[in-house]
Amino acid sequence: MFSLDDTITAISTPIGIGAIGVVRISGNDALNIADRIFLSKNRPSQSPSHRILYGHIIDPETEEIIDEVLLAVMRKPHTYTREDIVEISTHGGIGVARLVLQTVIKSGAREAQPGEFTLRAFLNGRIDLSQAEAILDIINSRTKEGIGIALSQLEGQLSGFISELRGNLINIASLLELSLDFVEEDLVLPSSQKIEEIISDATENLERIISTYRRGNIIKNGVNALIVGKPNVGKSSIFNALLLEERAIVTPYPGTTRDMVEGWLNVDGIPVRLIDSAGIRDTIHPIESIGVQRTKTMMGKTDIIIAVFDISDDISDEDKELLENIKDKNVIYVLNKKDIGETFPVGNISAKSPIVPTSAVKMEGIDTLQDAIRDTISRGTGVESDIIITNERHYVALKNALVSLNKARENLNAGYTQEIIAEDIKEAIDDLGEIIGENVTDEVLQDIFSKFCVGK
């Protein structure tokens, strides 16, 4: 279904105004196409690999000059796709990179699908599927930690782990199957105890790595933290103080914030999507009441609630209602405006969640609030593993493999035939194979690579 015969091309830089635009060409005909459209004293097809040539892109029919460029020649097999690659760096701008792309297409290349260069790297065996997915993760990562995990995955850490585990299982499954064919002969088979040992070992490894997914998912996708409270307690001031910028409007008038305002916070490598919201109160104002409704809906969906109260004031009915509504959630209580008094009866707050007194105007307690956010995120997600799973597809495949292995062990203990146990183990082998891209369907590949941008 996927063809490797033709030569593909795309603009690999974002569409927009920039310093340079890169048009990438990959395939058997890449160097010939470059020869046709590149005016220079150096012919790309005669150039050694990994050289950058200076020249002009021309329309091969009219010989009209399109742009002054640098052209990189990379010969197979030491390239991203393991095919010949030419990369043309044009002047930045929406128009000129497109003109160069059209010239390349006119000269024999086909426009690439999203992720098709990386798909070729996979189909040509340069990387396995989990490594291709790591490339996507690197592109999408917001923090150094996220990039770090994806990079180690790209370098083959996960692939190595899966291949080793799978190799052990393949050995045992083939021994079990062999014994079926040679019942009469003196084939030395591993004892049930040995088989059980190998399965237990694999199961333990799987459980350890599966348990890293919660943290991995958080590092990759981040968490939502919603700031709530009645009007005028200083929610937007806390939001701005955490982000260290004047993002949300702050005024002395209750009901200032109506729309959700968002900003990203990096808390020890975990991306936190911080959301400021409309203060909750009964209001007949039509715009404000939409805002209040949105806040309430979002409260049901967010990972963390940062509930703000005015410590300089007594507790109100609105505060009591909010305390009641959030008491079973993942909450951090912020007692703001401590610079002007401490009247609020703190005893009304559940002691099992963190309570942080702050003064947003004096920037006091904001560090403690950051620490509380970090601790709330890390609760229950501490991991002891070099490999961290961040990808849902891998997580599902690992869980399926674990189910199959548990079944194999149960069947072994129940005294079932070797044939049945070999089948269970083979299921686990297939599940693990999906992670690295063995026996995956074209649909799975299409789904994965369609998430890439064009030109990658």
Ligand X SMILES: Nc1nc2c(ncn2[C@@H]2O[C@H](COP(=O)(O)OP(=O)(O)OP(=O)(O)O)[C@@H](O)[C@H]2O)c(=O)[nH]1
- If one asks whether residue 250 binds ligand X (CB under 6 A), the answer comes out as yes
Q: Are 329 and 305 in contact (CB under 8 A)?
A: yes
**Residue 263: partners with Cβ closer than 8 Å, 6 or more residues away:** 239, 242, 243, 245, 247, 273, 274
What are the angstrom distances between the C-alpha of 18 and each of 71, 94, 399? 18, 9, 45
- If one asks whether residue 236 binds Mg ion (CB under 5 A), the answer comes out as yes
Question: Cβ of residue 335: shortest distance to Mg ion, in angstroms?
Answer: 17
Identify the residue among 192, 200, 251, 417 touching ligand X (CB under 6 A). 251
The residue among 334 and 448 lying less far from ligand X, judged by its C-beta, is: 334
Question: Cβ of residue 354: shortest distance to ligand X, in angstroms?
Answer: 18
- If one asks whether residue 257 binds Mg ion (CB under 5 A), the answer comes out as yes
The DSSP string of 208-275 is HHHTTHHHHHHHHH-EEEEEE-STTSSHHHHHHHHHTS--S---SSTT---S-EEEEEEETTEEEEEE
H or E element at residue 289: helix 286-299
**Residue 444: partners with Cβ closer than 8 Å, 6 or more residues away:** 434
- Nearest in space to 85 (alpha carbons), one of 112, 57, 56: 112
407 binds, among ligand X, Mg ion, none (CB under 5 to 8 A by kind): none
- If one asks whether residue 7 binds Mg ion (CB under 5 A), the answer comes out as no
The residue among 212 and 236 lying less far from Mg ion, judged by its C-beta, is: 236
**Residue 181: partners with Cβ closer than 8 Å, 6 or more residues away:** none
Q: Are 186 and 449 in contact (CB under 8 A)?
A: no
Identify the residue among 177, 196, 268, 339 touching ligand X (CB under 6 A). 339
The residue among 26 and 237 lying less far from ligand X, judged by its C-beta, is: 237
- If one asks whether residue 271 binds ligand X (CB under 6 A), the answer comes out as no
The residue among 312 and 390 lying less far from ligand X, judged by its C-beta, is: 312
The owner of tokens 């009641």 is 324
The owner of tokens 């007949």 is 284
Q: Are 365 and 357 in contact (CB under 8 A)?
A: yes
Identify the residue among 293, 340, 342, 386 touching ligand X (CB under 6 A). 340
- If one asks whether residue 205 binds Mg ion (CB under 5 A), the answer comes out as no
Question: Cβ of residue 333: shortest distance to ligand X, in angstroms?
Answer: 15
- If one asks whether residue 336 binds ligand X (CB under 6 A), the answer comes out as yes
Question: Cβ of residue 246: shortest distance to ligand X, in angstroms?
Answer: 11
> Rounded CA gap, 356 and 335, in Å?
6
x/- track of binding to ligand X for residues 145-174 (CB under 6 A): ------------------------------
**Residue 58: partners with Cβ closer than 8 Å, 6 or more residues away:** 37, 38, 39, 64, 65, 66, 103
Strand partners, 56: 39, 68
Identify the residue among 252, 286, 347, 415 touching ligand X (CB under 6 A). 252
- If one asks whether residue 234 binds ligand X (CB under 6 A), the answer comes out as yes
Burial letters 203-225, b for 16+ CB under 10 A, else e? bebbeebbbbbbbbbbbbbbbbb
Identify the residue among 231, 271, 437, 455 touching ligand X (CB under 6 A). 231
- If one asks whether residue 336 binds Mg ion (CB under 5 A), the answer comes out as no
Which of 10-18, 229-237, 387-395, 411-419 is the region at the interface with ligand X (rule: CB under 6 A)?
229-237
The residue among 256 and 370 lying less far from ligand X, judged by its C-beta, is: 256
Identify the residue among 26, 90, 212, 236 touching ligand X (CB under 6 A). 236
Identify the residue among 82, 337, 409, 426 touching ligand X (CB under 6 A). 337
115 binds, among ligand X, Mg ion, none (CB under 5 to 8 A by kind): none
- If one asks whether residue 359 binds ligand X (CB under 6 A), the answer comes out as yes
What are the angstrom distances between the C-alpha of 155 and each of 88, 114, 147, 152, 350? 27, 23, 12, 5, 46
Which of 60-68, 97-105, 162-170, 357-365 is the region at the interface with ligand X (rule: CB under 6 A)?
357-365
Q: With contacts defined by CB under 5 A, how many residues of the chain interact with Mg ion?
A: 4
Per DSSP, the three-state class of 22 is strand
- Nearest in space to 221 (alpha carbons), one of 213, 229, 209: 213
Binding site for Mg ion (CB under 5 A): 235-236, 256-257
Binding site for ligand X (CB under 6 A): 229, 231-237, 250-252, 254-257, 279, 336-337, 339-340, 359-361
